Amino acid sequence: MKDAVRRLNVEYGFNLSDQEIDLVAKQAEEAALLFQPLFEVDITDITPLTKIDKRIKKTACARREKNEGTRPRRTDNR
């Protein structure tokens, strides 16, 4: 795990000290142990709870949120 952290340190220029690399590697190993039972669950025959139906058009609210950044905002409190 330390080697992976060292590679990321060089690649992204984090400038981590050896002590920080050790700490990050230890935390990553603990997280891997924490999530290991999730990786062992077989969900190949389980249907997701939500499905995307591409036939449904976006609502006005969804379009408004998407376009929010392109329109000027009102500054007066009307």
Contacts of 6 (CB under 8 A, 6+ apart): 21
Band (18; pLDDT cuts 50, 70, 90): very high
- Of 15 and 48, more confident: 15
In angstroms, rounded to a whole number, what is the distance separating the alpha carbons of residues 70 and 31? 40
* Assigned token pair, 48: 């997701």
What pLDDT score does 47 carry? 79
5 exposed, middle or buried (CB, 10 Å; 0-12, 13-18, 19+)? Answer: buried
In angstroms, rounded to a whole number, what is the distance separating the alpha carbons of residues 14 and 11? 8
Asked whether residue 75 carries a pLDDT value surpassing 80, the answer given is no
pLDDT tens column, 27-67: 999 999 999 998 898 888 887 777 677 777 666 666 666 66
Domain ranges of the chain: 2-67
